[in-house]
Structure 1
Amino acid sequence: MTDQVIDVTDLRRVYGGGFEAVRGISFGVGRGELFALLGTNGAGKTSTVELLEGLAAPVGGRVRVLGHDPYTERSAVRPRIGVMLQEGGFPTELTVAETVRMWAGCTSGARPVAEALEIVGLAKRSGVRVKQLSGGEKRRLDLAMALIGRPEVLFLDEPTTGLDAEGRRETWELVRELRDNGTTVLLTTHYLEEAEVLADRLAILHEGRIAAEGRVADVVAAQPSHVSFELPEGYFVGDLPPLAELGVSGHESEGRRVTLRTNELQRTATGLLLWARDARVELGSLDVRAASLEEAFLRIARTAEGGERGETGERGERGGSAVPFAEKEMAA
């Protein structure tokens, strides 16, 4: 990767009592790239992001942001990054404009207050006290604070939590525009659709390790698609054409309900439907579902819970691969 802005090598973080929250992870983020960090509850996302932001020092490994150690060289990094926390904690009695003005006074090269509020759609709420804002409006204010210094690198921790569907889409467009203008973005989110829509690449953490990393399309493509249906009375899986000939990689059945896993969805669905037509069989509750990030996420969660380490794999040195891993959560 050229012009790498975030460089993480064998990063480790241990809390009091010996709990290892981050267990030797490595990844990089290029300039102008949007990188999503996903994972189950307790996976280590927040612990990792805090190390990148310079809020704590790692116990092992190396992290560089814009070529500097964000903890020991904080003065060189902090003016060039923006951080949107899960909750800003601003004084509730100040107005929106007063809050932004206060923050701008502590920031080098700050945007004008009106510009910052216009960007996040709060210009008409500038005179409202913070305590009177809705949850979604408070998230917009958090974002305005993160953008006030025109950051080269932007850390977004659950940026659309509390926003309605329209607000979420508007925030996505803003983040895209920032990325397209050269801002490097590292995003954590509960919304898998958000990661799928926005991210150039992503990593999925589990128990402090990277279980999958890569372009979204590659992570999704590594997971099987599914065709599920109900066979009529008197029919069984053995009555279907040979599953290997349909491109099926595995299957489950429960009563009359059958689910086929495949990496060749069109081949499997076509073969199955042609068989049903020729056999004059009606397949009940037919559901043909392509692989998705959510499917990948959930599959990894189930695999991890079952202890099937051989299926998930673990990423070692940079450039190593891991089978994409899918889960429903997100808060470290």
Structure 2
Amino acid sequence: MMHTIRLLMIGLGNVGQGLLTILSEQRQALEASYGLRFAIVGVNDLRMGSVADSSGIPFENLLAAATKGDLRTIPAQKKDLTVEEMLAGLEFDVLVEASYTDLRTGEPATSYIRQALRSGRHVVTTNKGPIALHYPELQAIAEQNNVQIGFEGTVMSGTPAIFLGMKWLKAAGIYRIQGILNGTTNFILTKMEEGKDYATALAEAQRLGYAEADPSGDVEGYDAAGKVVILSNVLMEKPITMQDVERQGITQLTPGDIEQARREGKRWKLIGSLELTEGTIKASVKPLALPLSNPLAQVMGATNAITYATRYLGDVTLVGAGAGRLETGYALLADILSIYRKGSI
């Protein structure tokens, strides 16, 4: 028997388009393996407008309209609804929240998520802001309304860092987490090791699309700090805020620092770290010169990695993509499938 999951999407940038691409390409596989079909009943994008149709909007039509930059070119029952109107007026099962990230307030995404949870709808998101700043509150609302919130894509894109920590390693006694949680800075440090100075390496990262025109969120460690907060709140069950993270970026590293580390058999990495000692959590994001024997020292380019230090399994390291259109889009699908497998949809 085929089951249809109705999705309302907020944000149709790279991540949202990545999800739609996967749903389109994997349509038959999802039907065969899970007995699932997906219907997009509404999409709202800050730049492209909004459309809604209870019968479902074809994935291909949405992708074509996104390429043109205007969702209103799609034939649909309703257009130009606000997000609040869509949340209140449409029939849907899961809110897919993939709007822009604000690590200062978490808005407007946090308000959208609250409204969906309170109306008894599941939520999946790749937006770090709401999870880093408001996770305990949002999780409590989800539990009160017997729904779930999935956020795998907030830390390492589709690489299952949160799933591994929560579902497999939590009972193993995690006492320390260290990770390369930002691909932009890892790319820059890799290029500096190849002989480029910081400014040249940053310019290359910007040219390739790894770094924004204003790269401060990455190179000053804010992005990684948000992920450290999420890991602490979710996996270590130690509520912290962005202000609790000791933060230092990579902008002060020089070619001389890189060369000195090389001579010592070490390699600089921007490391997000959590350490639990006698019930107290210490959180930081800062450059560390790691010995080459450390698995994190071998992770190059824009790749991410995370090491869980556990009481019963020792160190467990996961390496994979930390960003990307399809990679992050897949995280949304994985969260939806996880909710479905629990019989909640």
TM-score, length-scaled by structure 1: 0.30
TM-score, length-scaled by structure 2: 0.29
Q: Which has the higher contact order (CA 8 A, sep 6+)?
A: 1
